[in-house]
A and B are shown apart, each in its own frame.
Chain A
């Protein structure tokens, strides 16, 4: 079965801690049968977004059939953040955007005007926007969901589907908000049938956080889906079908 991992990080380090290299990252994908990974930065959440976005684009150019970069910007900067986002999304190699409000130290409401501009820009480019969720005080699942109402035409993805303690409300929000999606990355096998029951299998995407840790994390997160007891049709949508749609892979193949 084709597998698209909607949530990974490709970065050489997190502060001083070494992370899987580019080669190890691709080896991990191969080992676990992942065809395509959406890659996000880590150190770019702390600054130098432009440099880090360029690095992500370089990875994609080196592995155009395997890697899809998601850009990030710092909304605290205001207009320059929107300009950097426009620069990235005008480059067809980027197909999405990632924010990590917790690490980037902003709650959406602190940068509301800029976030609205950012989400409108993403909507114009029809690029999904992934937000880390499940972590107070800047990235609760409710904070992301509240922002989703500001720009209904934007496609917003809860990067962790409620993570640990917000899974139940994440399911309710997913059901109630048409432009909200969930990346199943963190919740466990027993949570997945509930999320699908609440909103259907069309709004759930597979993600692993691979790159932040080694290939075993990717393998484990795949098991969370495969061992969930869901029917094959739902699993197919989660592991690749929904990502293909959000990333326009049929209209714009890699």
Chain B
């Protein structure tokens, strides 16, 4: 199926982490090259784990076409909440948490104030999921059950070796959405088939993945026009409350 705009990238990364680097100018260049209208970015590396203010400024002040998910390490306690308030005032559209990088379990009590703030701000919360222990996607499932009124996004969709938990988890947690940025076709198609297209978001995972490869993968999905439009833009618009 042909990919057509508008395209909203629900998960891009700005900053530097290990071998990965991406700045706003380069992200915009890549967005333009692939007809991506808006990208939702979040910090990475040290700016995700420790220097949250710097990382949040990077994503929130990048460009009007780049919207930001705010990052705050829950271990900072009250200071994390203050940082989230600042980010809300700067126009953040969601909260991003990375249990492995930030060193907590999704079910830890110390996360609750941040989730309560997300409820108050009307934000969805994207958790990185994938590696066992802290980023166990089933731990996110437990949190989603405790906050039925809050939308959660499984960042990276449990990539990779907890992918087989997705169908059962998505059946049980109606407030859980899939960031499909690094997933493969039939794992995405299964969620669409069993739970509907409203549960899947296109993401690029730039700079770890890339628009060129990611969009080709989406183009091959066995979905109809309406489903594709939902995945490429309508779902992100609704969940992140974009204008």
Q: Given A164-B130, A223-B213, do A190 and B185 touch, yes or no (CB 8 Å)?
A: no
Q: Given A136-B132, A163-B160, A220-B216, do A190 and B20 touch, yes or no (CB 8 Å)?
A: yes
- Residue contact B159 to A217, C-beta cutoff 8 Å: no
Interface residues of B (CB under 8 A from A): 18-20, 100, 130-133, 135, 156, 159-161, 182, 184-187, 205-210, 212-213, 216-217, 220-221
B-contact 0/1 string along A214-231, CB 8 Å cutoff: 101101100110111000
Q: Given A190-B209, A191-B208, A223-B212, do A165 and B182 touch, yes or no (CB 8 Å)?
A: no
Interfacial chain B residues near A194, Cβ < 8 Å: 18-19
Looking at the complex, which one of A164, A217, A227 makes contact with B185 (CB distance below 8 Å)? A217
- Residue contact A216 to B186, C-beta cutoff 8 Å: yes
Smallest CB–CB gap between B183 and chain A, Å? 9
| 29 A-B contacts (beta carbon < 8 Å) | A135-B161, A136-B133, A137-B132, A160-B160, A164-B131, A165-B100, A165-B135, A168-B19, A186-B160, A188-B208, A188-B209, A189-B209, A190-B206, A190-B208, A190-B210, A194-B18, A213-B186, A214-B185, A216-B185, A216-B217, A216-B221, A219-B216, A219-B217, A220-B184, A220-B217, A223-B213, A223-B216, A227-B210, A228-B210
Sorting the interface of chain A by its residue count into under 10, 10 to 19, 20 to 34 or 35 or more gives: 20 to 34
Interface secondary structure of B, over-half rule: loop
Interfacial chain A residues near B161, Cβ < 8 Å: 102, 134-135, 163-164
Q: State in angstroms the CA–CA spacing of A220 and B184 once bound together.
A: 7
Interfacial chain A residues near B205, Cβ < 8 Å: 188, 190
Asked if A241 is an interface residue, CB under 8 A from chain B, the answer is: no
Given A217-B186, A223-B212, A223-B217, output 18 extra A-B contacts at Cβ < 8 Å. Answer: A134-B161, A136-B133, A164-B130, A164-B160, A164-B161, A165-B131, A189-B209, A189-B210, A191-B19, A214-B185, A214-B186, A216-B221, A220-B185, A220-B213, A220-B216, A220-B217, A223-B213, A227-B212
Q: Given A164-B131, A190-B20, A191-B208, do A217 and B184 touch, yes or no (CB 8 Å)?
A: yes
Q: State in angstroms the CA–CA spacing of A10 and B148 once bound together.
A: 42
Q: State in angstroms the CA–CA spacing of A186 and B160 once bound together.
A: 8
Interfacial chain B residues near A69, Cβ < 8 Å: none
Looking at the complex, which one of B100, B160, B208, B213 makes contact with A134 (CB distance below 8 Å)? B160
Interfacial chain B residues near A224, Cβ < 8 Å: 209, 213
Interfacial chain B residues near A219, Cβ < 8 Å: 216-217, 220
